[in-house]
Amino acid sequence: MDVSGIGQVPGLVEVDMKSWGITLRFSVAVVLCVLPNAVTWSQPGPNGRPAQVRTVQGNWVPVASIAGFVGPLMETCGVTTLSLAVINDDRVIYKGTFGPRASSSGAAVEPLTVFRAASLSKPVFAYLVMKLVDRNLLDLDTPLFRYLPKPVFTYPGYEDLRYDRRYELITARRVLSHQTGFPNWRWQNPTQRLDIQFFPGKKFGYSGEGYQYLQFVVEQKLGKGLAQIAREEVFLPLGMTQTSFHLEGRFEGHIAADLSRAPEFLKRKMRTEASAAGSLLTTAADYGRFVTAVLNGEGLSPKSAKEMLRPQVRITSRRLLGPQAAETSENTIGLSWCLGWGRFETGLGDAIFHVGQESGCENYVVVFLREKVGMVILSAGEGREAILPKLVARVIGDGYSPFHWIGE
């Protein structure tokens, strides 16, 4: 869910449910400001020294200094609520939440406050798929239509594929590495139809539709919904107690978004429908726990853990999304896509990353594999100015993430 247009005076709030293809607007009066509210936790330093986080370059940033620059940065960038987690050496070493929740009460955030993760949902779903591969419930290279008891074009939402047999080339591997040929979302097409825009496997083309298709196949195969499958396969085993693919009742007073005046049908949809492409609700601490599992290969066979982070397709497009996504860059940008993760090259070794941006939220995760340094950022607010590049640079020394390609 996206809530934008929130300001300090009554106004028009736009709720943009990109993951469900819904956009609506309604009037709501709220008062939000960046308050000096913060809840932080960090691993103590050795021998009684002040707690610090290690940067990619091996320098040290005192934990006490983080809150000092985060508050002003949030105000400058139009971020009302922020949650951070820093990973050093395969574990979460720092967690912090800042600002009020985006609610009419302006109550302070707390460790239980959940954020809309948007497309940070995709790496979690990829990890889930790899667990199913390990159990021989799925194969990365078997065409997905073979898992369905009926032709794919006979199912609601996939009728458009009837006359394009190229759907038979779409596999789990091509979905997770964005090589399906599907558009990002069908509603972005002038025809509003689900079409295949290039031969599956030919190149990279970011697609939420691909993830939705694989989700549909997984749900048909297992006879359960994504929210239940993810809870059983990922969240419970990893101890991610504040994470779900749909809005659970226990979250409604602890979410970094104002749902008090959202239409009931919208809240009902959020409670009942899950999207592998973008409906995840989580905390930075929980997502940091997930990242450490990925780094450690926890819950996966060594083969699957390695395959998930192996580059599957080289990226040559000028941008992730938009018109320039169809243009080829003349210069190599050192980018590739793995299974669920982007990957880029630096002089300090490769890093994996993912972005989660929708109107009203701006999220990012990055992990430098050799140095074992990473960061999770979840934020809510109007987003006047990009906060992600500034945060990763100040906290972990990351001046390498491909924000220009992402569109920051």
**Listed residue (191, 172, 190) closest to 180, CA to CA:** 172
Average pLDDT over residues 339-357: 97
Residue 18 has pLDDT above 60, yes or no: no
Average pLDDT score over the chain? 87
Q: Quote the pTM value.
A: 0.89
Average pLDDT over residues 112-116: 92
Band the pLDDT of 382: cuts 50, 70, 90.
confident
| CATH code of the domain in which 26 resides | 3.40.710.10
| pLDDT at 1 (0 to 100) | 32
Q: What is the pLDDT of residues 33-85, one digit of tens each?
A: 333 467 776 766 665 667 899 999 999 999 999 989 999 999 999 999 999 99
Q: Classify 255 as helix, strand or coil.
A: strand
Q: Classify 155 as helix, strand or coil.
A: coil
Residue 103 has pLDDT above 80, yes or no: no
Q: Got the DSSP string for 319-354?
A: -SSSGGGGSBPSS---EEE-SS-EEE--TT--EEEE
Band the pLDDT of 16: cuts 50, 70, 90.
very low
Domain encompassing residue 294: 3-406
**Cα distances (angstroms) measured from residue 238 to each of 32, 97, 127, 280:** 34, 21, 12, 16
Tell me what percent of the residues of the chain surpass a pLDDT of 70: 84
Quick count: other Cβ atoms within 10 Å of Cβ 344?
A: 19
Selected residue with higher pLDDT from 28 and 258: 258
Residue 375, strand partner residues:
86, 366
| pLDDT at 381 (0 to 100) | 85
| pLDDT at 318 (0 to 100) | 93
| pLDDT at 46 (0 to 100) | 60
**Cα distances (angstroms) measured from residue 95 to each of 39, 91, 224, 278:** 8, 11, 33, 23
| pLDDT at 383 (0 to 100) | 79
Backbone angles phi, psi at 273, to 5 degrees: -115, 130
| pLDDT at 188 (0 to 100) | 92
Q: What is the pLDDT of residues 130-159, one digit of tens each?
A: 999 999 999 999 999 999 999 999 999 999
Written as one letter, the residue type at 399 is G
Band the pLDDT of 100: cuts 50, 70, 90.
confident
| pLDDT at 270 (0 to 100) | 77
Q: What is the pLDDT of residues 186-228, one digit of tens each?
A: 999 988 999 999 999 999 999 999 999 999 999 999 999 999 9
**Listed residue (37, 93, 43, 87) closest to 67, CA to CA:** 37
Average pLDDT over residues 233-262: 88
Count of structural domains, the chain: 1
